Amino acid sequence: MQFDKPATTNPIDQLKVVGQPIHRIDGELKTTGRAMYAYEWHDANLPYVYGYPVGAAIAKGRITAMDVSAAKRAPGVLAVVTTLDVGRREKGKFNTVNLFGGDEIQHYHQAIAVVVAETFEQARAAAGLVKVEYAEERGAFDLREAMAGAAKPDDSQEPDTAVGNFEAAFKAAAVTLEQSYETPDQSHAMMEPHASLAAWNGEELTVWTSSQMIDWWRSDLATTLGVDKEKIHLMSPFIGGGFGGKLFLRSDAVLAAFGAKAASRPVKVALPRPFIMNNTTHRPATIQRIRIGAGRDGRITAIAHESWSGDQPGGQLETAASQTRLLYAGADRMTAMRLATLHLPEGNAMRAPGEAPGLMALEIAMDEMAEKLGMDPIEFRIVNDTQVDPEKPERPFSHRDLVGCLKLGADRFGWSGRERPGARREGNWMIGMGVAAAFRNNLVLPSGARVRLDSQGVVTVETDMTDIGTGSYTIIAQTAAEMMGIGMNKVAVHLGDSRFPVSAGSGGQFGANSSTSGVYAACVKLREAVAAKLGFNSADVVFENGEVRSGNRSVPLAEAAGADGLVGEDKIEWGDLTKTHQQSTFGAHFVEVGVDIATGESRIRRMLAVCAAGRILNPITARSQVIGAMTMGAGGALSEELAVDTRRGFFVNHDLAGYEVAVHADIPHQDVIFMDETDPMSSPMKAKGVGELGLCGVSAAIANAIYNASGVRVRHYPITLDKLIGGLPQLADMSDAYRSRA
Amino acid sequence: MNHTTKVSFTVNGASRDLDLDNRTTLLDALREHLHLTGTKKGCDHGQCGACTVMVDGRRVNSCLTLAVMHEGDRIATIEGLGEPGNLHPMQAAFVKHDGFQCGYCTPGQICSSVAVLEEIRANIPSHVTGDLTTQTQITEAEIRERMSGNLCRCGAYSNIVDAIVEVAGTKA
Ligand code: FES
Ligand code: FES
C-alpha cells in the first residue's frame, strides 16, 4: 500500500480497540519470567556450549601476536577463534568499525577472540589465558583538543544550513545571547546484555539474538560471515531494551557464529557487562555554541546553532543542531555541525539521536534568553512558535501544537507559582521549576506484515517487527483486532523472526506508527480476500463482532476463512507527504526540583510531560514510553557521563556502578498528558512516534529548574553537585536554613 | 584437584541436587543448570538487581553468591511466585500498572518488591527511616529507597511504585 494522500476515514477511526488502554498482551509472560530472551533458549535438541569474548586492551594499533596455547589447553575448552584466524572481513553496511576480524585495533575492547568451552566458567577462565602482543599507535581521544581539526562532513549528513544573513541580524539585535554548552558521551545501558545463540546446520545458520532490526542484522551478519543472507534465520522475539544500542549488528552474534562453526556445536555468547560500554556504541559527546538575537518584544530575529562531535574515521555526526532548523521562528538563521576524528569506541544512535543532546543545550539557551528579555520562558517560546518550516516557509507542519502543550502543561503544573531564581525555600531545600520544549521528527519506514485468518476465526499477525519494551505486541494486536472486527482474544502476534515480512523495526520512534501501518495494509488485503471469497462487494463490507456483513448477509469470520484459512500480506510504503509537509512531534516538559543549599544535591520533586504526537495507539504503553524517557533524561541531567581516559582512550566507568543511570530513589511520581489529536498526513493510523519525544528536552527542563531553585546556571552536563556548590548562597544563609529546619 | 561439589537445595519447593563447578553462581545454577531463566543476568556482579531471588525468605543478588554455599537452603524465584493464568498479586499489579517495558529487570523488581514489603513489616530500617523506635511505615519514600538496587533502564519506576503501593494497601 502506497501512502501518498492524507488519510481519510478508515476502520481504525472506530477506536473500539485502537486507542484504548489495553494492558500488554505479553505482560503475563514477562512478569512470571516466562518470556525467553536470546541467551535463554534451550531445548534438548540444542546442545549448546559457551563462548566468552576477549577484547582489545589498547585503543589503537595492531596485534602483532596472539598466543592461545594456554587457553586451548584449559579444562573444557573446545575452540578458540581469534581475530587473526578469521582475518579481515567485509564490514556490514550499518557499522562504522569492524566487529571482528583482522589485526587492526580501532578501539578499546574491540572483540579479538572468542573462547568456547563446555561451561560458562571454563570459557571465562580460559579467556583470561589468551596472550596478546600489540603495536600501539597514538590516537585522538579528547573532543576539545580535536575540535580545531574537526571537518565538515559530506552533504549526505546535512551539516550546514543558512537562511538570510545571521551575522548581520545578530549584530543588529536589541538583545543577544551567546553561550557554549557541553553534553557528555552517554551509554544506552539497556538491562539485557547483548547476547546471541548461534547454531549451524550445514551451511544454514540459526541465530537467536537481541536485535531491534532483524533485517539489518541479517544482512550485515551475512556480509561479515561471507554467507548467503537467505541461509541465515534470525530470531529476536523478546529484547531486554535497546535504546539504539541494538540497532546494528553487534559482536556477540558474530562471535557466536564463528565459535559455533569452530566448535561444531551451537554456541551462545553474552557480552559481559564491563565489556559493553567500550565494545558497542554510545551517544557521542558534543560541544555546542548557540547564539540568539531578539527584539525587545521577544521575537527572535537571529538564531545560530553550531555543534562539534567526534567519531571514528568514516563515522557520523551527532546531529545536535538539527532541531534548531525547525523549532523556532527567526528570519536570519544558520546551523553548522562539524565532525572530529576520535578513536574512542564507535559513536552511533542512542534514543533521539541529535535532538536529545541538541535540546539539552538549546532549551537552556531559550531559558537564558527569556531571562535576558525579562519574559516568562513559556511566553518567549509561544511568541516564537512557527507553523511552517522556518528554513522553507512554503513547507507547513502537518500538525503542530507546541503552544497547546506549553499552555496546558503550565496550567496543570501550577507554573504561575514559579518564583524568581533562588527565592523559594523549604528548610535546607531551595525549590525551583523549569520548563523545556520537546521536539522530535516523525520518521517513517516501509513496513510489511502477513495476516492469517484460520478456521477458528483467529487472526495471526506475522512481521519481523520487534518489541523492545515499546509495546509492539499489544498495539499490533489492537490494530488487527480493529481492522478485522474481532476481540483481542482472537488475535495472535508473532514478531522478531526473519521468516516473516520485513518491517520497519524499532528505532527513531518510527516503529509503532510504521509497523501498525504495515499491519493495517496487510489487514486491508485480508479483508479483500474475505470479501472476495464470500462474493461480497468489498466497498460496503463491515467487519464487526467476529462477523463480516454486507447488506443483509452476515457470515462469521471463522466460516468465511474455511478449512484452509485466508492470508493477507502487504507492506506500507511512503509517498512524498513527508517532503511536502514537515512531520514532527511536540511536547513540553515541566520539572520541579529541590537543591540542597549545603551540599548542592539536586532532587527531582515533580515531573510532567505534555505530548502532541498524533493519535495515541495505546495510552498505557505510550505513557510508559514517555515516563521511561523522562527517567532517562533525569539520568542525563544529573548523573550520566562516560568518563573518557584521554591518555589510554577508553571509557573508564564501564559498568552500572560507575555509569549512573537513574534509580528508584531519583524518580518521583511522573505525570503525562497526551493532546487529543490525529495527524492524517502521517499514516493511515494517524499516529506519530512518541518513544523518543519523551526524552527530548527533559534534561534541559531539569537544568532550568535547578537554575530557578539555586540561581546557578550549569551548561555542562551532567549537573553534579561539584558544579553547583561554588555558586550556592553563603554559610550565614545556610545556618539560617538549618536552624529553621531544626 | 576436585573442581566440582555436590549441593542440594530446594527451588520453589522442589528439591534439587546438583554437581557444580565451584565457581558457578547461584544465578547460573538456576539459569544454566535448572533452566529457570526467569531470573535475569544484567551485570553478573551485583550492580543491577536483575538476578534478585529469595533465599530462606531474604532477597539476595544471586550473581553474588556461589551455588555451593546454599546447601539445604530454600530458594524462591519468579517462577515460583505465580504463572500465567495464576499470577501472584505483585505480578498482577505490575501488569495492571504497566510496571515494566522490556521486561528484563522485571522478575528482579517483583521479587524485590515482595521482599521489601516483608522487610518493612519486619521493621528492618532503611536509610530513609526516621524513628527507629516505632514500627516503620510503608511509604513511597521507603519503597523507593529499598528498591534502588533494582535498576530499570526502561524507566518504569513511577509505575512500579504504584504497583507496590497497591499491593501493600490491599494486604495491609
Ligand atoms: S546480575 Fe546480579 S546484580 Fe546484576
Ligand atoms: S523493564 Fe526494561 S529494564 Fe526495566
Domain of residue B93, CATH code:
1.10.150.120
Checking if the pLDDT of A297 tops 50, the result is yes
Q: Which three cell numbers stand for residue A74?
A: 584449559
Cα(B105) to centroid of ligand 1, in Å? 10
Percent of the residues in chain B that have a pLDDT greater than 90, as a whole number: 95
Pick the ligand that lies closest to the CA of residue B50. 1
Per-residue pLDDT reduced to its tens digit, A318-335? 999 999 999 999 999 999
Does residue B63's CB lie within 6 angstroms of at least one atom of ligand 1?
yes
| pLDDT value at residue A715 | 98
Residues A561, A692 within the same domain: no
Indicate whether this complex's ipTM tops 0.90.
Answer: yes
Domains identified in chain A, total number: 3
Residues B72, B103 within the same domain: no
Residues B66, B114 within the same domain: no
Q: What is the CATH number of the domain that holds B68?
A: 3.10.20.30
Mutate to test the pocket of ligand 1, among B28, B32, B43 (most ligand atoms within 8 A of CB): B43
| Nearest chain B Cα distance for residue A166, angstroms | 41
Mutate to test the pocket of ligand 2, among B51, B152, B157 (most ligand atoms within 8 A of CB): B152
Residues A486, A522 within the same domain: yes
Domains identified in chain B, total number: 2
| pLDDT value at residue B172 | 43
Q: Confidence class of residue A540 from pLDDT cuts 50, 70 and 90? A: confident
Around Cβ A377, how many Cβ atoms within 10 Å?
26
Per-residue pLDDT reduced to its tens digit, B17-74? 999 999 999 999 999 999 999 999 999 999 999 999 999 999 999 999 999 999 999 9
Cα gap A514→A496, rounded to integer Å: 15
Residue A192 to residue B150, Cβ atoms within 8 A: no
Asked if B100 and A33 count as a contact pair (C-beta separation under 8 A), the reply is no
Residues A175, A77 within the same domain: yes
What's the mean pLDDT when you consider all of chain A? 96
Cα A218 from chain centroid (whole Å) = 20
Residues B74, B95 within the same domain: no
| pLDDT value at residue A537 | 83
Query: How large is the angle between the packed helices A214-225 and A251-263, nearest 10 degrees?
Result: 50
| Nearest chain A Cα distance for residue B53, angstroms | 12
| pLDDT value at residue A77 | 98
| Nearest chain B Cα distance for residue A664, angstroms | 5
Residue B103 to residue A469, Cβ atoms within 8 A: yes
Q: Confidence class of residue B171 from pLDDT cuts 50, 70 and 90? A: low
A392, A427, A458 - which closes a domain: A392
Pairing status of strand A267-270 against strand A195-201: antiparallel
Residues A404, A469 within the same domain: no
Residues A195, A263 within the same domain: yes
Q: What are phi and psi of A55, to 5 degrees?
A: -115, 155
Q: Confidence class of residue A43 from pLDDT cuts 50, 70 and 90? A: confident
What's the mean pLDDT when you consider all of chain B? 96
Q: Confidence class of residue B123 from pLDDT cuts 50, 70 and 90? A: very high
Residues B103, B146 within the same domain: yes
Residues A72, A28 within the same domain: no
B81, B102, B123 - which closes a domain: B81
Residues A40, A169 within the same domain: yes
What's the sign of the alpha-carbon dihedral A78, A84, A90, A92? positive
A739 CB burial (10 A radius; 0-12, 13-18, 19+): exposed
Residues A595, A568 within the same domain: no
B53, B81, B109 - which closes a domain: B81
Per-residue pLDDT reduced to its tens digit, A486-512? 999 999 999 999 999 999 999 999 999
Task: Name the A residues in 639-668 with CB < 8 Å from any B CB.
Answer: 655-657, 661-665, 667-668
Cα gap A166→A303, rounded to integer Å: 7
Owning domain of residue B156: 89-168
A545, A576, A607 - which closes a domain: A576
Around Cβ A170, how many Cβ atoms within 10 Å?
21
Cα gap B134→A349, rounded to integer Å: 51
Residues B127, B60 within the same domain: no
Checking if the pLDDT of A736 tops 80, the result is no
Residues B77, B10 within the same domain: yes
Residue A664 to residue B150, Cβ atoms within 8 A: yes
Residues A673, A698 within the same domain: yes
B41, B60, B81 - which closes a domain: B81
Checking if the pLDDT of A127 tops 80, the result is yes
A526, A545, A576 - which closes a domain: A576
Owning domain of residue A13: 2-34+444-576
Per-residue pLDDT reduced to its tens digit, B83-93? 999 999 999 99
Residues A28, A41 within the same domain: no
| pLDDT value at residue A740 | 52
Q: Confidence class of residue A735 from pLDDT cuts 50, 70 and 90? A: low
Q: Of all protein residues, whose CA lies closest to atom 4 belonging to ligand 2?
A: B152
Does residue B104's CB lie within 6 angstroms of at least one atom of ligand 1?
no
B contact test, residue of A29, A124, A238, A664 with most B CBs within 10 A = A664
| Nearest chain A Cα distance for residue B25, angstroms | 9
Residues of B in contact with A119 (CB under 8 A): 21, 24, 32
- Whether pTM > 0.90 for this model: the answer is yes
Q: Which three cell numbers stand for residue A608?
A: 510532567
Checking if the pLDDT of A523 tops 90, the result is yes
Task: Name the A residues in 65-94 with CB < 8 Å from any B CB.
Answer: 75
Residues A628, A645 within the same domain: yes
| pLDDT value at residue A539 | 79
Residue B101 to residue A26, Cβ atoms within 8 A: no
Per-residue pLDDT reduced to its tens digit, A311-370? 999 999 999 999 999 999 999 999 999 999 999 999 999 999 999 999 999 999 999 999
Q: Which atom of ligand 1 is nearest to the CA of B64?
A: 2
**In the predicted model, what is the mean pLDDT of residues A38-57?**
95
Q: Reply yes or no on whether A692 is catalytic.
A: yes
Q: What is the CATH number of the domain that holds A328?
A: 3.30.365.10
Residues B143, B94 within the same domain: yes
